[in-house]
Chains A and B, each alone.
Chain A
């Protein structure tokens, strides 16, 4: 089928979202909660676009492009007045919620007037409730984090803010967090995240940290690779292989 984005006729496959088609064709739609490998939830509201249905008598409406499946012959505008106004309001609210977030400040500056009419939060939180961490954790098969509390005190945490048994300390949540809200602290021997302290498996040659013990056990059980893959660090593996290759020719 074909859809029109900013007047350009583009091919789209059934089941694709507007965002997928737009990005594939080089249109710039800002997002914070979108990730190609995770199911969309439409949480950040930055990817709003305006669509016009010709066969609905020219019906117009704002939709989240990350969730909206393409339909034949719809017209999409990525920068109409309504879209820009919606984006500005969303950014205003995000900037007021997370004034410490660099990425939000950057998005505000990119998208016009860096001013906010809302009262700024002072709790230092950078969480925008995008659920990327929750979805990544679920993808890993751990589902150790989720939302706790309701309404304005809703936050992402482990159940009852206690040590989650299912958390293996992989760090995906911290890596995927778009605003850097999730704190993870690594030393040579330990990783601290979600209030839990994990011990690293040390490289048997040089002692460098490889992955957490829990993560190794989890990977051995779920990823079909033997435990001895996780005993030596990458640098030592490479060095010993180079040594073995070198001896072949001598």
Chain B
């Protein structure tokens, strides 16, 4: 019996305030840099927004291309996490992701991807409009 929770986005509740991006970048050490947040808000048309973040794919391309098994699924949360001690910085996981959710910055030397904050995502906690949930 799995106890994994599901990360749910509810675009109809999203107002595009980008609090989730701010929370993510603060919690993950990017000091409020929204461009480096692991979740992104896109404006679609005039009044609609779409939240985009890692889908934690079952058969993930990033995992498949990693030469050192540095991307490991956390069975408790379902998230694919980066084992920084095993990453050699080849950067292939970024182009491998078909959805653009993996970012590899040469200066960091390790990929920047959503790990669901170990099961308690900051974006969900900070979203003021219940547009992100973990259930």
Contacts and interface: CB of A to CB of B under 8 A. Distances in A.
A223 interface: yes
Contacts of A245: 11, 44, 50, 52
Contact of A223 (B89, B96, B106): B96
Given A241-B52, A243-B44, A249 B11 contact: yes
A219 interface: yes
A233 interface: yes
Nearest to A139: B67
Shortest Cβ-Cβ A-B pairs, 8 listed = A175-B89, A246-B44, A237-B100, A238-B100, A37-B68, A242-B42, A234-B100, A36-B85
A38 B96 contact: no
Given A225-B65, A246-B50, A235 B100 contact: yes
A35 interface: yes
Interface of B: 11-12, 40, 42, 44-45, 48, 50, 52, 61, 64-65, 67-70, 83, 85-92, 94-103, 106, 109
Interface residues of A, number: 42
A176 B92 contact: no
Interface string A226-250: 0001101111111101110111011
Contacts of B12: 249
A243 B99 CA distance: 12
A37 B67 CA distance: 9
A224 B44 contact: no
A123 B98 CA distance: 45
Given A186-B106, A237-B98, A242-B44, A211 B92 contact: yes
9 contacts: A37-B85, A139-B88, A171-B89, A175-B106, A176-B89, A210-B95, A234-B100, A242-B42, A246-B45
